[in-house]
Amino acid sequence: MQKRILGKSGLEVSALGLGCMGLSYAYGPATDTQDAIKLIRSAFERGVTFFDSAEAYGPFKNEELLGEALAPMRDKVVIATKFGFIDGLVSSGMDSRPENIRAMTEAALKRLKTDRIDLLYQHRVDPNVPMVDVAGTVKELIEQGKVKHFGLSEAGVNSIRQAHAVQPVTALQSEYSLWWREPEKEILPMLEELGIGFVPFSPLGKGFLTGAINENTQFDKTDYRNTVPRFDAENRKANQAMVNVVTDLAAQKKVTPAQIALAWLLAQKPWIVPIPGTTKLHRLEENIGGADVVLTEADLNEIGAALSKVTVQGARYPAHMQNRVGR
């Protein structure tokens, strides 16, 4: 697989990473540990060198899983994880106090079976802790060699600038895909200006852009998508128009809708590295194939023109989570 560098940081990763959240958290029952390890190692064998986790995924289970899976090839991969919630529990609220960042980092190093975290993100901006304190704490961890690079997730323009002034930000991780293009307004131009890489999560629209989900799809009762307005049955039916655009082009190119969605992201900027997640080996192979799909200027214009006629229905987060993004 081709490599990309996140912004001006010098951090080189595979053009597609693996988002590991769904192996342990949010999308129904956790994957069997041995099956998950097999999937992670299969990703590495196929050229993936960038693996994304967080203390909150489980909590803690996902980091432990990554630590075990990647131990044999630790020096050949880039591991990213995140801090920022009380006891790793999203439901308990945010905690980016310096003492918690330090404690979480020490615990994560043990769970990940490593002596350094390649990319450490603040999972969400904490309104109760000044960004200069957060960035300053991570800067100290970088000076100590425990962390290599600093990242932010779902942060807004002001927070990114404040953090970057204290400790250069290597990457921003936020949602970006064909059906969530909000970052194009302010975020992408600013990242380009500052030389910060962009790591889109949910590049396949939480599975919707694969074409495998429709208005009749029933999610597991523990699946997070049950709470997302965009996944209401009525909105899924309305949003099918978006999938139809992708499916039509995929048929022309003799590839899959997922591969078109990933190729579209990769075509936007050379410093964008999507991190699709999956629990299935055949989907992993399909996603990796997306890195080989080349979209021409004509293809991109065709997609843009078709999508300009489609209005996506439904919010991407439940109301109680909206205040955690874009600060």
pLDDT at 152: 98
Class of domain 3-324: alpha beta
Burial 151-185 (b: 16+ CB within 10 A, else e): bbbbbbeebbebbbebbbbbbbbbbbbbbbeebee
Mean pLDDT of 100-105: 98
Name the percent of the chain lying above pLDDT 70. Answer: 100
**At what angle are helices 233-253 and 297-307 packed, to 10 degrees?**
160
pLDDT at 321: 85
Fill in the DSSP letter of residue 223.
B
Q: Give dist(CA 160, CA 172) in Å, integer.
A: 8
pLDDT at 294: 95
pLDDT at 8: 96
Can you give the length of the chain in residues?
Answer: 327
Domain-by-domain residue ranges, the chain? Answer: 3-324
Bridge pairing between strands 147-153 and 169-175? parallel
Which among 64, 8, 13 has a CA at the least distance from the CA of 199?
13
| Contact by Cβ (8 Å): 274, 52 | no
pLDDT of 207 above 90: yes
pLDDT at 323: 76
Which among 53, 51, 44 has a CA at the least distance from the CA of 72?
44
Question: Which residues are tagged catalytic?
Answer: 57
> What is the residue-averaged pLDDT of the chain?
96
Mean pLDDT of 285-289: 98
Dihedral Cα 243, 249, 251, 254, nearest 10 deg: -130
Does the reported pTM lie above 0.95? yes
Burial of 78 (0-12, 13-18, 19+ CB in 10 A): buried
pLDDT of 164 above 80: yes
Mean pLDDT of 252-266: 97
Q: Give dist(CA 122, CA 82) in Å, integer.
A: 6
- Supply 318's token pair: 């439940």
Mean pLDDT of 154-182: 97
User: pLDDT tier at 195 (50, 70, 90 boundaries)?
Assistant: very high
Which among 308, 200, 217 has a CA at the least distance from the CA of 261?
200
∠ at Cα 313 (261, 234), nearest 5°?
105
User: pLDDT tier at 320 (50, 70, 90 boundaries)?
Assistant: confident
**Peptide bond preceding 59: is omega within 30 degrees of 0, i.e. cis?**
yes
pLDDT of 106 above 90: yes
pLDDT of 319 above 90: no
β-pair partners for 19: 52
Mean pLDDT of 245-267: 97
∠ at Cα 63 (60, 64), nearest 5°?
85
pLDDT of 52 above 90: yes
- pLDDT, tens digit, for every residue of 217-231? 999 999 999 999 999
| Contact by Cβ (8 Å): 157, 187 | yes
